Each structure stands twice: as structure tokens, then as C-alpha cells.
Structure 1
Amino acid sequence: MSLINTQILPFKAMAYHNGEFKEYTNESIAGKWSVFVFYPADFTFVCPTELEDLADHYEEFQKLGVEIFSVSTDTHFCHKAWHDTSEAIGKVKYPMLADPTHQLSRNFQVLIEEEGVALRGTFIVNPEGQIKTMEVHDNGIGRDAKELLRKVKAAQYIAKNPNEVCPAKWEEGAKTLAPSLDLVGKI
């Protein structure tokens, strides 16, 4: 069953964020756009390239009122150690959520049970706590922060303009479509 338009389930997780350990819950993120980026494990290979790419674009997400949450099944202590020792991860300014109990990974249906790690899952959550986009794929395939940024802008646009839709490759400021009977078969 798809998670699209479902409410995120209650959670409580510790995070390493800006030199501190902080607790986050579903209630603490309410009222804001959020992006959850699940990855298999700290101190690995594709993961630091993705988290660094997000760090390089973090300011753009923040300008849109979006908080990024990276999530792995590692502990918040492990996140701190990785942040302190990796040049790429040292750039991360967004919260790095710890999921050693697998609660979040199960909630978002990305846990590989037999390995105890998450698949690469990306979820855009609106201020009401509903999942608006999801992308889950094999752990060998890295993601692109620019494409995620485009999807966030599209999700925010249609939230403000519910009678319009964003076509393929839509970029901010480009023409949208207004679905109607007259439009059927004309595209």
C-alpha cells in the first residue's frame, strides 16, 4: 500500500544537530515542510556523497521553509563521530536522526529487516504531516539534491494551487496545467 497522502506515524528520535544531541518527534516537526532522507549506515560509501550533496543545497531548502532530516539505524553518538571525522559529513547542518530501534524505518516502510538497515528512501512531508512524495530504491543508487529540491517546490506549488498540476520537468516559474475536460487528449 502506498504511503502517499498518509499521516506520518508518531515517533521519537534522538539526533545529532549543530554540535548537540536533540530529541525530535512527529509533534516537533508539525507545521513545517520536512524531508526525510533514509540511508543504510554511517561510515559507508554512497551515503556521504548524498548527505554532502544535501548539505551543499541546505540553504536553498531552508529558504523554502523546509527542514531536512537524514535518518539511519545508527545511534546519535555514531552520527556525531561521523560528523567529526568526515570532511563531507562535517558540512551537514541539518538534523541527523538516529533510528537504532528501527521505529522510523518501519514507519516509513524502508527497513531491510534481515540487515537492520534502511533502504534509500526519500519522503517529502507537508506541514499537516502528510507524505506528499516518496522515492525508495536500491542502496547502490545515490540521489540528487537538485531533483529533490525541484520536487519540494512542486509539492509546495500544488499545495498553494490545488487546481493546477506540475508537468514533467516542471521548474519554478514554468507553466503548469489546469486539469479539465477540455484538456483531455490535447497534450
Structure 2
Amino acid sequence: ILLDLMLPEMNGLEVVRRLRQVKQTPVIIMTARDSVMDRVAGLDQGADDYVVKPFEIEEILARLRALFRRLQMEEQSRVVKQTRVEYRDLVVEVENRVVRRAGEVIDLTKKEYELLLLLMENIDIVLSREVLLKEVWGYKNEVETNVIDVYVRYIRNKIDVPGRESYIQTVRGTGYVMRS
């Protein structure tokens, strides 16, 4: 986002602050405000860069290229370090998104896979429904929904061994956990 601070309806710094509460979209402020205090405020509110007018288009393009390079490097550094997650006889091969139980491949949807992986990466940690909604579905606010319960049931039907204790334990009124 290329943002001018002098907007008719709202202060540009407020736009940056609100944006940062919900997204990490790159923001470059372009403005005539050239004081050090203005620059510091813009960067402290979450802008990735601050350019004072007048400027040359080549400079903006170079700054955009630099920003995109940095974002690509950050994305590459987030590559999953753990390539295999194990829990009892369940194995998740993270790199190729394969789940196996006792060597047999288990077919999971994208959300089922993400939910199971999150639980397996947090053994013995009770994850609330709110945390699961935020991490897997991206919901930020409390949403009245039973989607987590439904998906846990789907996963249990696919991974649990009949007659044995479920891999995923319900913590009443809170959420779910996989216990070691």
C-alpha cells in the first residue's frame, strides 16, 4: 500500500495503525511531512518505509523492490523447520502434507490437516476454540460457531482406532488437547 498521510476523512497514521491490527500488508508512506518526528511516528505506527515528497518515481520503484525482496526472504525463513511431526502412531510429513496412522495414509481436507497439525505441534497444551479458530480459519473475533467441534469430529472419525481412547481429548468449556 502506498499511503499519503493527508487523507480527507482520516489521519493516515490512523489508517496504518488500524491496518496493522488486522494485517501485515506492506505500507509505504508518501507525504510532504518531512520532520523527524513525523517519520518516527509513521514508522512506529507500522509503516515499512517513509518517503518525503517530492521524490523520483525510480526511488519509489527501488524501495518497492527492496520491500518485496525483504518479504520474500522473510517468507523463505518461515519454511517449516520441522519436516515430520509424530504422535503415537500418527505421523505428519509436513513438507508434502501427508498424514499416516500406522503407516496407512489418511486423507484429510486442508482445514482438517491444519487443525490436526496445530494440535500435534502443541502436545499437552490445551488449545481453546478461539485460538483454533484464529490459527486455522483466521477469525480474529469471538465467533459463535461450532466449526471446531465439527472438524474435530471429522478428524476423529478418520484417525481414531475404534474401541480406543480418542487421540484428541475434549477439555469441556475450553477446547482440545492431544496428551502425551
Fold conserved between structures, TM > 0.5: no
Higher Rg of the two aligned structures: 2
TM-score (norm 2): 0.28
Q: Higher relative contact order by CA 8 Å / sep ≥ 6: 1 or 2?
A: 1
**Is the helix fraction higher in 1 or 2?**
2
